[in-house]
Every structure is written in structure tokens, then in C-alpha cells.
């Protein structure tokens, strides 16, 4: 299978992964033949990318790090909390704890964790899916840093609820499609303190978990908010969630900007972001995140076009690729392990 933009999918292509609507229901089921009306439906729903199965990508498998049902249940739960404008029911917190525990257990049972950006987000469901992705990415980083199960559960619980304070921010500001005014941005920034107070008041999370809501916008160099804390003044769970939050935000479409490519965000996190984030957290984060996700189209320095087949953990920028078009866009098929052939390298991602 391979990931492609909906506007470039040929009519009759086979859908490789089920597409879910923003309310969690099945929109199109895996295996369906994509008619023109289906592609129009996807575009209207704000779904810009899907996975298809064709002869170019035959045998290429894309796997999520957690079970699809677990992720969907987590997204539905966050949606219920964030659209219910309420965080007073104890049952909600117990349910959140249960789903986070399941995510932790699934990740710990995974022998070779590699986060592959499998999730398809729309602008409308960004908030819900973002919270779950930040939870998963934070737990994965915590595993890399040697956290025990209790710490991972505390980290995951705080991470999945890191944006809970946005319940207290006016919807018209959160959903504004244009640039925020200074006054509106100051209002948005309040979600950190409001979220922390909400979680602490509930009495159902430990202080360390609750602190993630408060500290996930602090920056290692002191340039963040709300208190401009620096270095180890920022609690470790918040330092982890900060990286996960930025990574997922930048690799997602937003109402005011298009997403960046995974390798561009990887570059930002490891270079420019080194001033904003704890270097030890970044080191562990990037160990488990793919630079070029499996199923992505890439352009090689030879001008050939290829699809990423498998990642190389030791050399993340040099995966195994399947060349499908030569420099003249003539069809050809060969696989190259870029970790072995150093004369060939990826220059960009592209549509195939």
C-alpha cells in the first residue's frame, strides 16, 4: 500500500485502509473500489490523503504502533470530553485511564516500535486525534528514556489531556481560520493554566500528570509560556509532551496552514528545535519516529521516483525503497537499500 493525495487517486483504485469519519464511524471500508463519487465525498469531508493498494505498492505494509480499535476508541473518548464542555464526571477519567493503560500495554508489547504517521486527520477532527497522537508519542519517548510502567501511565494520562484547558476558551477563537490577534493569542495561552487547574481540581490525576497541561508550551531556552521556565525547571513529563505536541501539530493540516512533510519536521526537531526542547528528550524521540514513513513517495538524486518499503532504524534517512519510475517517468521496478548504496539518496518526498 501507499499514501497518496485524494486529488491524485485514479478512479477504480482499491482502498487499502478503512477511512473513518470525524465522528468515528466508518466512511469507506478497506478494499472498496474508489468511484468518483467516493473521492468527491472524501474531499468534501476534508480528507486529503488515503492509502491505496496497487501494483506499484504491492506487498508494502504500513502498520500503526497501536491497535486501530484502541486508537479509534481513544479518539472517540477525547471527542466526547472535548465536545461535551464538561470534565466533572469521574467515569470519564476512569475510562481515560483504562484506554491509556491499554495504549501503554500495546506499546510495551511491541518489539520494534517505529512511529510511522499512519493517522489520517481532517481539520475538523484535529483536536481529538492530536491528543491521542501526543499521548502515543509521549509514551514511546518515555519507553526510550527507561520509564517504568507507572511513569508511562502517568505520562500518557497527562499527555492525552494536555489540551483540556481549551474547554474554557471561546470556540470562535479556537476555530478562527485566520491569524489570531495579540489579544486572542493571549486568550489561547490561558488554556495551560486553566487545564492544569481543571485537572488538579478533579482530584483524579497525580500532580505530575496534571502538570503536563500547564507546562507543555514551556520551552527549554525559556521562550515558552505561561511562566517562561528554562531547562530542568520544566517538569520532565511536560518536556516530553512539548516535543510530541509540536511534532504532531506540524505534521497535521490546520485551519490556518498546511502541514509540513515528516522529514521537514524531523529536521526542525533535531536542529532548530534543539533550543526549544530538552536534548535528551529529542534524542529519544527521534529514535522512534520515521523520517520517511513507509508508503511515502520519494524523489531520489537520480531523478527516479520510489516508494518507501521499510525503514532503517540505524540510518533513518536511508530506508529500503522501491523504484517505480525512472528519470524519464517510464515504469520500472527495482528495490534499493539506501543504507548499502551510498551514492543514491532521497532529495524530497513526492506524489507517485
- CB atoms under 10 Å from CB of 312, counted, come to 16
Query: What pLDDT is recorded for position 177?
Result: 80
Query: pLDDT band at 91, cuts 50/70/90?
Result: very low
Q: What homologous superfamily does CATH list for 68-286? A: Hypothetical protein af1432 (1.10.3210.10)
- CB atoms under 10 Å from CB of 48, counted, come to 17
Domain spanning 2-57, CATH architecture: Alpha-Beta Complex (3.90)
Q: What is the H or E stretch that residue 221 is in? A: none
Strand order in the sheet with 297-300: 331-337, 320-325, 305-310, 297-300, 346-349
Query: What pLDDT is recorded for position 90?
Result: 45
Query: What pLDDT is recorded for position 331?
Result: 96
The whole-number average pLDDT for the span 316-320 is: 95
Query: What pLDDT is recorded for position 87?
Result: 55
Residues 193-226 pLDDT 10s: 999 999 998 888 999 999 999 999 999 999 999 9
Using a 10 angstrom Cβ sphere, with 0-12 exposed, 13-18 middle and 19 or more buried, the burial of residue 113 is buried
Do 206 and 158 meet the contact criterion of CB atoms below 8 Å apart? Answer: no
Would you call the peptide bond into 226 cis, given omega within 30 degrees of 0 as the criterion? yes
Query: What pLDDT is recorded for position 254?
Result: 77
Query: pLDDT band at 147, cuts 50/70/90?
Result: very high
Length of the chain: 352
The whole-number average pLDDT for the span 66-71 is: 92
Spatial distance between the Cα atoms of 200 and 333, rounded to a whole number of angstroms: 57
Query: What pLDDT is recorded for position 80?
Result: 87
SS3 132: helix
Tell me the three cell numbers of residue 113.
Answer: 516500535
Q: What is the H or E stretch that residue 337 is in? A: strand 331-337
List C-alpha distances in Å: 108 to 41, 101, 212, 238, 302. 38, 11, 22, 21, 40
Residues 6+ apart with CB under 8 A from 7: 43, 48
Residues 6+ apart with CB under 8 A from 177: 255, 256
Query: What pLDDT is recorded for position 125?
Result: 79
DSSP 170-205: -HHHHT-SSPPPHHHHHHHHTHHHHHHHHHHHHT-S
Alpha helix locations (H) across the chain? Answer: 36-44, 68-83, 90-108, 126-144, 149-160, 171-174, 182-189, 191-202, 207-215, 236-250, 262-270, 279-286
| C-alpha R_g of the chain | 20
Amino acid at each position: 500500500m501507499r499514501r497518496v493525495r485524494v486529488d491524485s487517486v485514479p478512479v477504480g483504485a482499491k482502498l487499502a485502509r478503512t477511512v473513518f469519519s470525524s465522528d468515528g464511524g466508518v466512511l469507506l471500508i478497506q478494499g472498496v473500489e474508489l468511484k468518483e463519487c467516493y473521492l468527491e465525498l472524501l474531499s468534501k469531508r476534508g480528507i486529503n490523503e488515503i492509502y491505496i493498494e496497487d501494483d506499484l505498492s504491492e506487498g508494502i505494509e504500513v502498520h500503526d504502533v497501536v491497535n486501530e480499535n484502541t486508537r479509534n476508541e481513544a479518539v472517540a473518548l477525547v471527542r466526547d470530553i472535548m465536545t461535551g464542555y464538561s470534565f466533572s464526571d469521574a467515569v470519564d477519567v476512569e475510562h481515560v485511564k483504562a484506554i491509556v493503560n491499554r495504549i501503554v500495554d500495546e506499546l510495551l508489547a511491541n518489539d520494534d516500535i517505529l512511529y510511522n504517521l499512519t493517522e489520517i486527520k481532517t481539520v475538523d477532527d484535529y483536536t481529538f486525534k492530536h491528543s491521542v497522537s501526543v499521548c502515543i508519542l509521549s509514551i514511546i519517548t518515555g519507553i526510550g528514556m527507561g520509564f517504568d510502567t507507572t511513569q508511562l501511565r502517568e505520562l500518557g494520562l497527562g499527555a492525552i489531556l494536555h489540551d483540556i484547558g481549551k474547554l474554557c476558551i471561546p470556540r470562535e477563537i479556537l476555530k478562527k481560520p485566520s491569524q489570531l490577534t495579540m489579544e486572542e493569542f493571549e486568550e489561547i495561552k490561558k488554556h495551560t493554566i486553566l487545564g492544569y487547574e481543571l485537572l488538579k481540581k478533579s482530584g483524579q490525576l497525580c500532580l505530575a500528570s496534571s502538570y503536563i497541561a500547564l507546562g507543555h508550551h514551556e520551552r527549554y531556552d525559556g521562550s515558552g509560556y505561561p511562566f517562561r521556565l528554562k531547562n530542568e525547571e520544566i517538569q520532565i513529563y511536560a518536556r516530553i509532551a512539548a516535543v510530541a505536541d509540536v511534532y504532531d501539530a506540524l505534521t497535521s493540516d490546520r485551519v490556518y496552514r498546511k502541514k509540513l512533510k515528516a522529514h521537514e519536521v524531523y529536521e526542525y526537531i533535531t536542529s532548530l528545535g534543539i533550543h526549544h526542547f530538552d536534548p535528551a528528550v529529542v534524542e529519544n524521540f527521534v529514535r522512534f519516529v520515521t523520517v520517511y514513513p513507509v508508503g511515502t513517495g520519494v524523489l531520489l538524486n537520480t531523478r527516479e521516483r520510489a516508494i518507501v518499503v521499510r525503514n532503517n532504524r540505524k540510518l533513518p534517512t536511508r530506508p529500503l525503497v522501491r523504484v517505480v519510475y525512472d528519470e524519464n517517468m517510464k515504469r520500472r521496478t527495482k528495490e534499493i537499500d539506501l543504507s548499502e548504496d551510498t551514492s543514491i539518496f532521497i532529495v524530497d518526498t513526492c506524489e507517485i
